Structure 1
Amino acid sequence: MKKSSTEKKLFLYAWNFRKSITVGLICLVLAVALELTGPFIAKRLIDQHILGIENQWYQVEKSDHYTVRYNGELYKRADRLAPEDQESRPATILQVNHSYYFVDQEIPLTGKRTLNGSTLTINAPEKKVEAQAERLSMSQLYQFFQPEQRSIYWLLGIYVGLLFIAALFKFSHTFILQKSSNRIIRKMRDDLFAHLQRLPMKYFVDQPAGKIVSRVTNDTESIRELYVRVLATFVTSFFYMTGIYVALFLLDKRLALMCLLLVPILYAWMKLYKHLGGKYNTVVRSTVSEINGSINEAIQGMPIIQAFRQEKQTSDEFEQLNNKHFTYQRKLVRLSALTSFNLVNVLRNFAFVGFIWYFGSASLGAEGIVTVGVLYAFVDYLNRLFQPITDFVNQLPQLEVARVSAGRVFEVLEEEGERIHTTPIDRYRGEIKFDHVSFAYEKDVYVLKDLSFKVAAGQTAAFVGHTGSGKSSIMNLLFRFYDPQKGKISLDGTSIQDLSRQQVRSYMGIVLQDPFIFSGTILSNVTMNDEDISREMAIDALKAVGADRFIEKLPGNYDAPVKEKGDSLSMGERQLIAFARALAFDPAVLILDEATANIDTETEHLIQKALEVLKKGRTTLVIAHRLSTIQQADQIFVLNHGTMVEQGTHQELIAEGGQYYQMYRMQQGALKANAM
């Protein structure tokens, strides 16, 4: 099945919030439409009301808002005449140089104008006209402007009102889109984190923790910038450019067609930037993950680094990654610096050259003359056109960062996760059977080979053997962290592969050699915030393992805060909390993976006492190096390189004098040597 593109997946995430995004886009369209009315209003204001007095005027008898008294007569502009107005002798007002002149007859408004004394000459395309002109004083000119004042104020008021309404729509658009963007990223992070918890253990073995953290935090934050800033800018720029092009076509089609050349140039630049920027950003984001992994590893291993004086080597390794990040980041900066600002500047200059050429030569003829209002509107729209282009181009670097980051996030989401099936099952008794099980972490490198054994419900079984013999692998299979390549594992006669992983683990508890303590309180580490585990149950479990002896000395007692990994507690104290955690969930199968290996003898005696009570009614599997802790086990399985070499009770295996006996003698000898 063909995988969908990163862009399509990003779109599908946005589609979940299409209603709010649609409302935001509608607000944006309205805001853009209202803002773009400005040049048209300015054009009308200039052509109709400021320069509009240069027109044909007619004498009228009735006075109204549009009439002007001049030399004792009433005049009204030709375009203001109403049907009931009785037209009489025409007149013309023209501008010559910086002054306005009144001509007491109808003359052409187009053509070259020259003034010789009081004689005005018009070289029109059809004919040459001469007429006597009277220069208007400032007070007389003001009278002709007076009828326009009301309209000018109205237009300015309308424009201010439209800008205010546009600001409200723009605020709504920004707020709604940013809110939707944050909701998208919240859902993506939730999906990513939930998916991480469904991934098999093998994924976490192969991937350093720092890289995974980088994808959940850094990469999703870059995608958030995509939705919050980049897409908002792109959508805004698109609507602005569309609106401006519509306005340009309404003003002049030829110049609008010239400006359309910007679109293929921008498209070509986007393709080029996507190729180069994508390549560089892939390296940058990957290096950021490696840097996070390196920092995480260095912090975790700082005691070892300092103890073995490896600070310089660790710094050198970090510096190599940092230099790699710097090199490719510099390539990205150079790519943006060489093109983004310069590209827009070059396009702007070419556009204005074309504008000047068009109006300076192609439209010089009398028939092609345009009004000052049209010129103003064109210049205004051209200036407005390059602002969204600038915003558009400047967001390309962030777009590529987000696209690459999204690819890395979706790469995790495409990893095949485990089926989540939490339907409750009846508590199983705890009978465990391995039937000819073979297992390999890597292909054909088997760590368990044709392994068969059975542990009855309620029994305590111990697994011993040298490092690498496969003891922990048995527990990994039983918990279904992995599945065997061959054979069958069953609980109470039911194959564990017929159950979901969650159902298998629902009645199992485990204590590891190196227990993990979460930041929180001692109680929260026992209950794991599970509502089914009450405070009383958690305290009883802690007391059962003897942890109350050190807890009651802490400030806050059972509510005492603990740091990440429980660094404020000793190894033995952490182990007791982990043991209480397993017991609080009352498992049918209790697994102790070398749980007493790092505990002092006194604490071990406490746990052994608690085990005698708590083992009743549950199956207990113990992995142990210290054979003294498993002498009371019902069965002891001795492993060697993934095969079962011996099986029996402590006394039976000692009597056999085999591998278990040799291991026991070695440990007893070491104990005697230490005692001496």
Structure 2
Amino acid sequence: MKKPSTERRLLNFALLYKKSILIGLVCLIIAVALELTGPFIAKRLIDEHIVGIEDQWHEVEESDAYTVSYHGELYKRADRVQEDDEITDTATILQVGRNYVFVNESVSLTGTRSFENRMITIDTNSATTQAEAQKLSLNELYRFFQPEQRSIYWLLAIYLGLLLIAAVFQFVHTFILQKTSNRIIKKMRDDVFAHIQRLPVNYFIDQPAGKIVARVTNDTEAIRELYVKVLATFVTSIFYMAGIYVALFLLDAKLALMCLLLIPIIAGWMKLYKHFGGKYNTVVRSTVSDMNGNINEAIQGMSIIQAFRQEKQTSHEFEDLNSKHFNYERKLVRLSALTSFNLVNVLRNLAFVGFIWYFGSSSIGAEGIVTAGVLYAFVDYLNRLFQPVTDLVNQLPQLEQARVSAGRVFSMLDETGEEQNHQIISRYRGHIAFKNVTFAYLKDENVLKDINFEVKSGQTAAFVGHTGSGKSSIMNLLFRFYDPQSGEITIDGRSTKEWSRQQVRSHMGIVLQDPFIFSGTILSNVTMNDEKISREMAINALKAVGADRLIEKLPGQYDAAVKEKGDSLSMGERQLISFARALAFDPAILILDEATANIDTETEQLIQRALEVLKQGRTTLVIAHRLSTIQQADQIFVLNHGTMVEQGTHHDLLAEGGHYYHMYKMQQGAVNANVM
């Protein structure tokens, strides 16, 4: 089945909060509509109230709000006359150059005008008219404007009110969309992190930690910018442009159609940028992940780097990655610089050239096809049209960066995860059996070959063998970090595959050779912040393993702060905490994976004494190199190159004189040599 595109999956995340987004978009539409009323109000203000006095004026008998007194007579503009007004004569006011003249008769409002010696001449296509006219003084002209003042103030007040209302809706739209965007990213990050915990262990073996961290943090942050800023800009710009085009069509359909040429140009440019920008961003994001991995590895191994004086080589490796990142970022900057702002400027200039060509100088005047108000509105809308275009083009780099980052995040989400089932199962007794188990990490490279053994409930079993013999692989299979290619693993007679991986592990505890300590306190590392483990239970577990004598010397004691990896603690202290962690969860099966390999003899003796108590009522599996620590085990299994070569008690295996005997003698010889 074909997977949905990255864009479709981003949309699906957004649709999880479609109600909030819909409310935000409705607020946006209202805000855009209110804001775009400005040029129409300005058009009305100019045509009807500022230059509207250039019209026929009728002499009337009665005075009202729209009448003007001139030379003792009352005049009212033609469009203000009511049916009950008694008209006695008609005059005309015309603009000639920068002056207005009063003509005491009805003359044409169109045509080319000239005024000289108190005579006005009007030339039209059909005839030439002359009439006596009087130039209006500034005070007289002001009287003809007075009836329009109230309307002008009202229109300005309405426009101001609409702008304030639009600002409120714009705020609500921005707040809702940004809040929703952050919720989308929170959901995405939660999903990604939850999915990481469902991925099989081998995924983390193949992927450097830095790369995984980069996808959860850097890539999702880039996507957050997409929802918070880029998509908000795109949605706002699209609605804004749509509103402007509606207004342009209302003003002049032909010129609006010419302006539509802008859309395919922008669409073509976006497609072109997607091709090159996507290619460059893919390299940039991948290189950022590699850099994170390199930094993470360098920090983790800084002591080794400094000890072997490899600072220069490590710096060269980072500089190579950093140079690659710089080169592709430069390509992206060049791609944007060549076109983004320049492209919009060129399109704006071409649009104004077309605008001037369309109207022409002869179109603006007495016989012009456009009024001053329409001209102002059209220029205003044309200017406004290129602001969202600029916003769209300027967001293309972030859009492509977010799209590439989203592709990387979704590729991680597409990794096959393990099924989760945390349903509680009864505590099993811990009777373990491996039946004809064969396992390989890589195809045709078996690390375990036809393994058979049984450990009864409550027994202590030890696994020994040279490095690479398969000891840890047995524990990996028991924990269901992996499943065998053939054979069966059972606990209390039930196949482990009948339970989920979480259920199998729910009654197991493990202590590793190199214990991991999390940032927090001593107690939080024992309880793992599990509500089922109380403070008293954690302290008792620490005391049971003998850690109390060491911990009570620390400042803060059980609440002493520890950092990641527990670098402030000794290896023995870290191991004891790890041991108490396993004990606090009261496992039915306890696994000690080389748990005493890296600790001093005194601490080992503490653990050995605690083990005698811990082994009661639970099955204990021990992986050990030091054979002196497992002499009391109920069973010892000897592995060699993935096969089970011997099994029995310590004394039985020594009596056989086989692999175990020789391993024991070698270690005894090494110990005696050290003593001497």
Query: TM-score normalized by structure 2?
Result: 0.99
Give the CA deviation at 1:120.
Answer: 1.0
Give the CA deviation at 1:359.
Answer: 1.1
> Aligned residue for 1:462?
462
Query: Secondary structure of 1:336's partner?
Result: helix
Residues 469-521 of structure 1: CA deviation (Å, up to 9, x unaligned): 11101000000001111111110110001100011001000000000000000
> Aligned residue for 2:230?
230
Residues 545-577 of structure 1: CA deviation (Å, up to 9, x unaligned): 110011111111111111111010001100000
Q: CA 1:124/1:494 → structure 2, altered by over 3 Å: closer, same or farther?
A: same
> Aligned residue for 1:190?
190
CA distance in 1, matches of 2:264, 2:377: 24
Letter in structure 1 aligned against 2:131: A
CA distance in 2, matches of 1:479, 1:508: 8
**Alignment of structure 1 residues 132-143 onto 2, 5 Å:** 132-143=132-143
Give the CA deviation at 1:126.
Answer: 2.7
Query: TM-score normalized by structure 1?
Result: 0.99
**Alignment of structure 1 residues 234-313 onto 2, 5 Å:** 234-313=234-313
Give the CA deviation at 1:217.
Answer: 0.4
Query: Secondary structure of 1:197's partner?
Result: helix
Query: Secondary structure of 2:87's partner?
Result: coil
Matched, 1:60 2:75: no
Instruction: Assess if the C-alpha contact under 8 Å between 2:597 and 2:625 holds in 1.
Output: yes
Residues 76-115 of structure 1: CA deviation (Å, up to 9, x unaligned): 1111111111222111100001000000111111111122
> Aligned residue for 2:19?
19
**Alignment of structure 1 residues 408-447 onto 2, 5 Å:** 408-447=408-447
CA distance in 1, matches of 2:443, 2:274: 39
Cα root mean square deviation, aligned: 1.0
CA distance in 2, matches of 1:81, 1:171: 44
Query: Secondary structure of 2:357's partner?
Result: helix
Query: Secondary structure of 1:513's partner?
Result: coil
CA distance in 1, matches of 2:470, 2:109: 102
Instruction: Assess if the C-alpha contact under 8 Å between 1:459 and 1:618 holds in 2.
Output: yes
Give the CA deviation at 1:121.
Answer: 1.0
Query: Secondary structure of 1:466's partner?
Result: coil
> Aligned residue for 1:2?
2
Residues 227-284 of structure 1: CA deviation (Å, up to 9, x unaligned): 0000000011011100000000000011101111000000000000000000000000
Structure 1 runs (4+) deviating above 3 angstroms are 361-368
Query: Secondary structure of 2:621's partner?
Result: strand
Residues 528-552 of structure 1: CA deviation (Å, up to 9, x unaligned): 1111111111111100111001111
**Alignment of structure 1 residues 626-637 onto 2, 5 Å:** 626-637=626-637
Instruction: Assess if the C-alpha contact under 8 Å between 2:364 and 2:371 holds in 1.
Output: no
Letter in structure 2 aligned against 1:216: V
> Aligned residue for 2:149?
149
Deviation larger for 192-201 or 352-361: 352-361
Give the CA deviation at 1:129.
Answer: 1.0
**Alignment of structure 1 residues 451-530 onto 2, 5 Å:** 451-530=451-530
Matched, 1:322 2:325: no
> Aligned residue for 1:450?
450
> Aligned residue for 2:546?
546
Residues 289-337 of structure 1: CA deviation (Å, up to 9, x unaligned): 0000000000000000000000000000000000000000000000000
Q: CA 1:194/1:362 → structure 2, altered by over 3 Å: closer, same or farther?
A: farther
Q: CA 1:604/1:494 → structure 2, altered by over 3 Å: closer, same or farther?
A: same
CA distance in 1, matches of 2:84, 2:178: 58
CA distance in 1, matches of 2:364, 2:479: 87
**Alignment of structure 1 residues 32-181 onto 2, 5 Å:** 32-181=32-181
CA distance in 1, matches of 2:631, 2:125: 120
Instruction: Assess if the C-alpha contact under 8 Å between 2:463 and 2:636 holds in 1.
Output: yes
Give the CA deviation at 1:125.
Answer: 2.3
CA distance in 2, matches of 1:309, 1:244: 66
Give the CA deviation at 1:400.
Answer: 0.4
Query: Secondary structure of 1:88's partner?
Result: strand
Give the CA deviation at 1:363.
Answer: 3.9
Unaligned stretches of 5+ in structure 2? none
Query: Secondary structure of 1:83's partner?
Result: coil
CA distance in 1, matches of 2:483, 2:367: 86
> Aligned residue for 1:29?
29
Give the CA deviation at 1:361.
Answer: 6.0
> Aligned residue for 1:382?
382
Instruction: Assess if the C-alpha contact under 8 Å between 1:522 and 1:577 holds in 2.
Output: yes
Q: How many residues align?
A: 676
Identity level (%): 76
CA distance in 2, matches of 1:181, 1:381: 30
Matched, 1:624 2:624: yes
Instruction: Assess if the C-alpha contact under 8 Å between 1:527 and 1:534 holds in 2.
Output: yes
CA distance in 2, matches of 1:43, 1:69: 27
CA distance in 1, matches of 2:623, 2:129: 115
Query: Secondary structure of 1:662's partner?
Result: helix
CA distance in 2, matches of 1:321, 1:532: 47
Instruction: Assess if the C-alpha contact under 8 Å between 1:125 and 1:366 holds in 2.
Output: no
Instruction: Assess if the C-alpha contact under 8 Å between 1:27 and 1:172 holds in 2.
Output: yes
> Aligned residue for 1:572?
572
Instruction: Assess if the C-alpha contact under 8 Å between 1:49 and 1:148 holds in 2.
Output: yes
> Aligned residue for 1:666?
666
CA distance in 2, matches of 1:540, 1:274: 61
Q: CA 1:18/1:362 → structure 2, altered by over 3 Å: closer, same or farther?
A: farther
Query: Secondary structure of 1:453's partner?
Result: strand
Give the CA deviation at 1:365.
Answer: 9.2
Query: Secondary structure of 2:360's partner?
Result: helix
CA distance in 2, matches of 1:582, 1:437: 27
Query: Secondary structure of 2:489's partner?
Result: strand
Residues 335-390 of structure 1: CA deviation (Å, up to 9, x unaligned): 00000011000000000000111111684797652100001001111111111100
Query: Secondary structure of 1:447's partner?
Result: strand
Letter in structure 2 aligned against 1:559: D
CA distance in 1, matches of 2:594, 2:88: 115
> Aligned residue for 1:205?
205
Letter in structure 1 aligned against 2:81: L
CA distance in 2, matches of 1:88, 1:500: 100
